[in-house]
Structure 1
């Protein structure tokens, strides 16, 4: 790899110039110069050999030194705090679910959490600890080993940054600066020391950037084995980063923009054969689309394969999926065919759909009748009885003959806990005003024809006979017999008065393909009917994969700030690049080892300033180009293009989505964007110091090295743990917004 770095030098070699001076001197002074020339040639040869030796060994020695320092900064005193710290309460618990093989639900893809589970398995953990925030780890749980496993990903980021800087054609001083900025970034070091997903997200972001940069350097060696290798690694890294958190899609977008530009340039090359152009397109489709998708889907395949037992996330999945989990009550001994008098739970078949639910609380406005919602957790308020319509008021479920519920039957659904009828009327729904409100009203004897619903079978997973309602397999719609609207539960959450449960309405538009109007019977009880064998029906992987991803997306969008609650840990996007705020990761009492998420000031402020500097630099050269100046070589233009503009684009892709999204945000959301800002800072330093003399240039860099290292050392305690009273670190509180100490 070292041979490809023509610009990875300490400066231009002055050997040729000195030889020309010797030759000139020779002509002027005759034969006397031959002795001088021989001596100088030997010196130059020794110097050249020394430079070549240093270049060769620096490629090996420097990353080893940086990596050793990385493991020290990420792992020293890593087990000092014996309590569950910050989001270890979430991701440690998810790792426990893998060890117990219990199905759970989370808004993030599964790869990172599976790796957390693997760290627990390696540490000999059995999955029994609940990971409650602030709770002390039990003696039998080797939490230090689990943290070390995560810290490994954080430590690997440092050599990855080193090699990426080389691939971006930075000179040696800049490569070291970029590497030191990642190594001595306090926030990176801190967040890598706990059982979290962020170190894995950063690691795969770094690998994707390295693979992209290396692949670009091989553009003149298209279709060579090394070219295919790095193309495949880029796709593999994209798949991994997206499988840890969806933030990885922003990194994917950066590679995608590069690919579009690259193919567009090749499309404009009229000398390129069409077959070769088609091969380029096909290679990228396979390497950068198919491979990442296979990696992403494989992580979910393993997720479903490992989590074979029923768990707390069951209700997010389809009824048929749940019926195939071990230990589930869904479909267990449930009669396959539904009859009048049967008690059942009704599952909405939309992505992330919940169970039809009611409770004694009423709507605060509108009809003021009993609320009807959709709810993901199982409880008795999800139970409903199938009753005939009011033309059969003499129906008694104890004495009546068995009569199966059929397609196009007009029925009533009676809430088992309160005895009220599922009801709708022309009152607007509380949130979706265009729909009709759905409520519970009356009882088995009191009510009207607005309690009537007509069953319309949509399909059946195992049978072509649509005449009956079958547990788990039959999808049906409930049309309000009087109003003609359809019972629907979308992805709209009620306010706090509705416990943030899903709004259930009667939608006026008739859209048969709207899956949020599709329902199925999930659990079913009727002593008069024989039990069925619902587990014989398998749920297809692709449908489960799509279902879970839509449910994750829906839940992720629902993570909005609650105006009724004050989140002291949350922060705004504008605060991140200027290091306006940090984050307390645990309790701040004197007996707790305290950690504070705060970046290295010079890394943050310098990298943010570099983004503006690059914008001004590009504007400057565009103005001069427009005025007819041609001072930039093609090498310079390519250097600016790929080593400056693309890192800036990477920063924007990772930063702007958090400006637009309404969800609650925290400082760690900025960390992937920070890496691209650091690369931008590397370019600015490389470009602005290129005309300086070697000694001056190295003096500037040494000062920067000292500043980066010095500030890391100054703030080291927020990384390695603050013991005792936080007042000891008052000198670190440069701004009031840095809550390292209380007022």
Structure 2
């Protein structure tokens, strides 16, 4: 009877001491208890999911607010909008242009302009030109990077969420990007960096989603996220070439993953070699071949749109230019005859072949002796000292036939009445290259005759092809020694009037040896040879055009080595030692100064150092037999946070070996990665984690199965632990973001360009001696 007085709901007590048989499939008391726990855990997970979703919506809304607020100011051209706005206009007008960056980001701007009906009439020629007066839909153009910049904050949050981090860790990482003045400033203008950073962030997110499906290889979802990763990587590299760093980041993770798959002792069992080859081939297709095909696709669109002759023609070969309609260069091409007077220009440096009576010094600064012959130099301006008469090798004064490809010729300098010569004497700057000088007519047709002979070698020319002005790009090869006439931009000393050195380059193949005849001054304007003949537009294979453009892009990108008043070095970026002046307005004392949030950058950079210190301390402890971390915590620290650190390192350290101009905006992808490390470390430092076993689902209990490992558990993206004490993480998150928000607000006038600041207000913002305007 006592048993009957027991409350009916205490099922566990009713089964104590004996295992009653199940009736008609009814669950045992223990099974029902497990089911109740599973339902409770499911409700808790659903509640947690809603918290993440609500926070994501709030952060996205704040991102849109900060990026779009006051985006109409200033209503005039700012900084590099002169380039990328101009390129959008050229696309819309289908006018060929040249740029060192791939076309994807610029095509997006052109697409926006086309959507709003813009005709491309404005060419963004000068900083400060009015958009309103010129009727330019600049708000539509600026809305594109603002949209992508806003979504970058969301993607940063999703990266942390998908990686299994707690809510405060997600909020901190996204908040550091949300409240960063550099990210805001760069995404409110017609610039490429918003597209670059967004694509980079998407590639990380997609790869994490792909990696989480590693227990479901070759499934539909697995393939989907692999393809998405490759597409994001392609968009990254198709915007700027530094997008290649994302390939290095993810490629490193892929190599580690493939190496683990080879391990015969791996928990999931060893893969057979055919299976491993399938895994390798799938990743090679999704992350190498397919991104490269997308990359080629954007260039195909680029060539298809730009069908008309334009300012980019000069960077391309005559064969390429013949594929463009209305090409002025080809229309002005004139056949060159012997005894014509020519002005010869170096294709890449735009310097004319020049000479003057002054001679090389007896000795150079390094002590080497010269020939003391007449100087032959490169001169940037049109001058009579640039005039050379082309003579036949046989000296026949009666011939007036046209010059042909591979002809041997001499060049007579008209002002000094001497003949161009090269000989086995070292040039002023290059001991391995030959000196160029001139010889008297007597010597040129006497004992020095062989040294004055040069071959006209037209690029991609056919035997017997006529040599023409403007259109025939050629190499001038010294016949006896087989060196190519070459010049470079390093100026000669005072004895050479700071002009360019001309010498004989033993390496004939480089494109830097190419010259062209800019004009024929001796030919009258009404000469029959100047009559313009209508030319039909020709075609070239896509890959031939692509290879030519790639060579030119890489060469000119490497030439961006000149100093700039606002350039900076990589060691300055993590500490935010200087920024870039984008725009000023003297009347209102307004200015846009590109600068990150100093507090946010210093915190993120400090936590990078903390992470390196934690790893070093952990390794030292392990060497001494002390294991302070559990397996799961160490796995997340090394693999998940380590992956974020790898992304930062691969987007930062390569700049140390670059010789081109560098600016603060080059650090933005690395800064985003540093915020991921910051969020992960805040959770590691301030969160107490107690791992709990997986809770079986209701269906698993009915089937009598144990809990299966969750597909969300993974090494790269970490695990979300149950039983976390997040109070410390929340406090750290709020304190950090409060300080960062104060710094963000303090520097807003420099980011948004208004209001104007007084001298005292400007001086208060010169924290590290930033070169701000209106400081006095």
Q: Taking structure 2 as the reference length, what is the TM-score of the superposition? A: 0.78
Q: How does 1:81-92 map to 2 (within 5 A)?
A: 81-92=74-85
Match of 1:724 in 2: 756
- CA drift at 1:242: 0.9
Matched, 1:136 2:130: yes
Q: Match for residue 387 of structure 1? A: 391
Please say if residues 145 and 188 of structure 2, whose CA atoms lie closer than 8 Å, have aligned partners that are also in contact.
yes
1:374–1:489 contact (8 Å) kept in structure 2:
no
**CA-CA distance at 1:162 after TM superposition:** 0.9
- C-alpha distance in structure 1 between counterparts of 2:392 and 2:508, whole Å: 24
SS in 1 for 2:577: coil
C-alpha distance 427-128 of structure 1, shift in aligned 2 (>3 A) = farther
2:455–2:478 contact (8 Å) kept in structure 1: no
Measure, in 2, the Cα distance between the counterparts of 1:338 and 1:493. Answer: 31
Matched positions, count: 689
Write the mapping of 1:432-447 to structure 2, written as runs, cut at 5 A: 432-438=430-436
Contact 1:266 1:277 in 2 (8 A): yes
Query: 2:586 maps to what in 1?
Result: 589
CA pair 423-225 structure 1, distance change in 2 beyond 3 A: same
Distance 1:322 1:496 in 2: 37
3-state SS in 1 of match to 2:583: coil
Aligned position for 1:280:
279
Paired residues of 1:583 and 1:597 also in contact (CA < 8 A): yes
Q: Deviations over 1:305-363 (max 9, x none)?
A: 2222222221211111112222213333757x765356778788xxx856783246788
Query: What is the CA–CA distance in structure 2 between the aligned matches of 1:379 and 1:108, rounded to whole Å?
Result: 35
> 2:109 aligns to what?
116
Question: What's 2:623 paired with?
Answer: 626
Counterparts of 2:442 and 2:223 in 1: how far apart (Å)?
70
Unaligned stretches of 5+ residues in structure 1: 1-21, 28-39
Q: Is the 8 A contact 2:471 2:516 kept in 1?
A: yes
- The 3-state SS of whatever aligns with 1:403 is coil
Contact 1:414 1:444 in 2 (8 A): no
Does the Cα contact within 8 Å between 2:377 and 2:500 map onto a contact in 1? no
Report the counterpart of residue 478 of structure 2 in structure 1.
480
1:547 aligns with 2:514: no
Equivalent-residue separation in structure 2 for 1:353 and 1:731 (angstroms): 44
What SS does structure 1 have at the residue aligned with 2:486?
strand
Counterpart CA distance in 2 for 1:281 and 1:503 is 52
CA distance in 1, matches of 2:306, 2:204: 32
C-alpha distance 608-434 of structure 1, shift in aligned 2 (>3 A) = same
Q: 1:661 is matched with which residue?
A: 658
C-alpha distance in 1 between matches for 2:384 and 2:551: 27
How far is 1:578 from its partner? 1.4
Task: Sort the Cα spacing of 1:436 and 1:274 in 2 relative to 1 into closer, same or farther, 3 A.
Answer: same
- For 2:142, the equivalent position in structure 1 comes to 147
Indicate if the aligned counterparts of 2:456 and 2:477 stay in contact, CA closer than 8 A: yes
> Which residue number in structure 1 is paired with residue 683 of structure 2?
686
For 2:50 and 2:428, the matched residues in 1 are separated by 70
| Aligned equivalent of 1:18 | none
Deviation, 1:528, is 6.4
1:16 alignment counterpart: none
8 Å Cα contact 1:435/1:505 also seen in 2: yes
Q: Is the 8 A contact 1:250 1:654 kept in 2?
A: yes
DSSP 3-state at the match of 1:219: coil
For residues 280 and 501 of structure 1, the distance between their equivalents in structure 2, rounded to whole angstroms, comes to 58
Which deviations, in whole Å up to 9, do the C-alpha atoms of 1:274-325 show, x marking residues without a partner? 1111111111111111112112222222222222222222121111111222
Quickly say closer, same or farther: Cα 1:445–1:357, change in 2 above 3 A. Answer: farther
Moved more, 525-534 or 225-234: 525-534
How far did residue 81 of structure 1 move? Answer: 0.9
* Counterpart Cα distance in 2 of 1:313 and 1:378: 22
Deviations 1:630-658 (A, max 9, x none): 45444333312332222222222222222
> 2 CA distance for matches of 1:296 and 1:226?
24
For residues 144-197 of structure 1, the C-alpha deviation after alignment (integer angstroms, 9 at most, x for no partner) is 221112211111101110111112221111011111111111111111111111
Q: Report if aligned partners of 1:346, 1:522 keep a CA contact under 8 Å in 2.
A: yes
Q: Provide the secondary structure at the position in 2 that maps to 1:712.
A: helix
Structure 1 position 732, deviation (Å): 4.4
Cα 1:427–1:41 change in 2 (3 A) is closer
Q: Which deviates further from its counterpart, 591-600 or 357-366?
A: 357-366
1:234 pairs with 2:220: no
Q: 1:683 to 1:460 in 2, by over 3 A?
A: closer
1:651 aligns with 2:661: no
Alignment CA distance shift 1:159-1:370 (3 Å): same
Q: Secondary structure at the match of 2:503?
A: strand
Does the CA-based 8 Å contact 1:334-1:523 persist in structure 2? no
Pick the aligned partner of 1:676 from 654, 673, 678: 673
Distance 1:496 1:193 in 2: 45
Query: Using a 3 Å threshold, how does the CA distance of structure 1 residues 558 and 641 change in structure 2: closer, same or farther?
Result: same
**1:403-452 Cα distance to aligned partner (Å, 9 max, x none):** 35456643124579998754434453343332123357779999863773
Distance 1:495 1:117, change over 3 A: farther
